[in-house]
Amino acid sequence: MFRSNISVLLILFCSLSALLSTSGFAIELTPHKATYTAKIKKGISIKGKAVRELKKLDNGEWIYRFDVDSFVADIDESIYFSWLDNKVVPRKYKYKLSPFLAKNRTNKYTFDWSTKTIKGTYNKKKWLIEDIPDNSFDRLGYQLQMIMDIKANKSDMFYQIVRKKTLNQSHYRIVGDEVIDTKFGKLNSILVTKIRAKKKKRKTHMWFSKDYPVLLLKMIQIEKGGEEYEIVLKAAKINGKKVKLKSL
C-alpha cells in the first residue's frame, strides 16, 4: 500500500505547472527552476525531490524538463517546443520512468504539424495518430498553455493531451480566489480544478499565486477511495533569482 501511495505522488508530480511571465499583451516564457515536495494526508513525506526547469535554446526553441529523484522511482521527462503567438507548439517529447525493482517504461513521440500527425513509440511499440487538432499537446506542454490561458482569464480550458498512444481531452476551470496557508505564510491564490464526469470520485485542485499568477503554490488530489495527496512548492528561481513571496 505504501509503495502504491508513493506511485500516486510521482504521477502527481507530473501534473505540476510551469512558471511564466507577462510583457504587454503577449505572454513571454521566462527561464526558471522550481522544486516541489509531496506528502500523503497522514503526513508521510516522499524522500526525494522533483525539479522543473525551462530553458531557451540558441536556435530560438525551448526545452522544458522535469526530473524526479527518489527511492521509489526516477523520472526523466522533456519536451522541445516553439512559442508562437502565445501558444505552445510541441515538437519532440521524451519520457522515461525507472522504478525500483521493476522494468523501465519509455514513451517518445514527435509532432509533425505539416502533416497533422504524431509518431511515437511506447515501450518500443510504434504508434501513429493522424488528423490531430491544433490544441494537441504533450503532458508538459499543455501545462504551459494552461498558465497562458489562466493569465487570459479564461474560465474553462480544454486540451487534447497525448497519453501513451491516444489523445484524451482534459477540462480545467478557474473556480475563484482563495487565501491559503503555505510555508511562506498566508498567500492569495487562484484556485483551478480539473473537471471530471459526475460519477468520478477522483478530484484535483491547484492553487496558483495571485501575486505571481504563473506560479503553482499547491496541488491536492483526492482518490476515489478517499486517500489525499498534497504537493507544495519548496523553492523557485526565475532568471536565476530566488522568488520571494509576500505573506498577508
Q: Could you tell me which of 52, 64, 68 has the C-alpha nearest to residue 7?
A: 68
pLDDT single digits (tens) 195-245:
998 888 888 999 988 887 767 888 888 877 777 778 788 988 888 889 888
Mean pLDDT of 158-184: 92
Residue 150 has pLDDT above 60, yes or no: yes
Tell me what pLDDT residue 168 has. Answer: 92
Greatest Cα pair distance in the chain:
52
Greater model confidence, 132 or 226: 132
- Residue 164 vs residue 183, higher pLDDT: 183
Q: Collapse the DSSP code of 147 into the 3-class scheme (helix H, G, I; strand E, B; otherwise coil) and give the result.
A: helix
Averaged pLDDT for residues 142-152: 83
Work out the average pLDDT over 4-11: 56
pLDDT surpasses 60 at 78: yes
> Is it the case that residue 9 has pLDDT exceeding 80?
no
| Average confidence score pLDDT of the chain | 82
Residue 18 predicted with pLDDT over 60: no
Share of the chain above pLDDT 70, in %: 83
Distance separating alpha carbons of residues 36 and 54, to the nearest angstrom: 15
Residue 151's φ and ψ, nearest 5 degrees, are -60, -30
- Measured CA to CA, the distance from residue 188 to residue 248 in angstroms comes to 8
In this prediction, residue 231 carries a pLDDT of 78
The cell for 46 is 516522499
- Grade residue 98 by pLDDT with cuts at 50, 70 and 90: confident
Rg (CA), the chain: 18
Q: Please, which pLDDT band fits residue 21 given cuts at 50, 70 and 90? A: very low
Query: What local confidence, expressed as pLDDT, does residue 115 receive?
Result: 97
Q: For residue 54, what are the β-bridge partners? A: 32, 64
Question: E-assigned strands of 12-155?
Answer: 20-23, 26-29, 32-40, 48-56, 62-70, 73-84, 87-99, 105-112, 117-122, 125-129, 136-137
- Angstrom distance (rounded) from CA 228 to CA 245: 26
d(CA 170, CA 191): 17
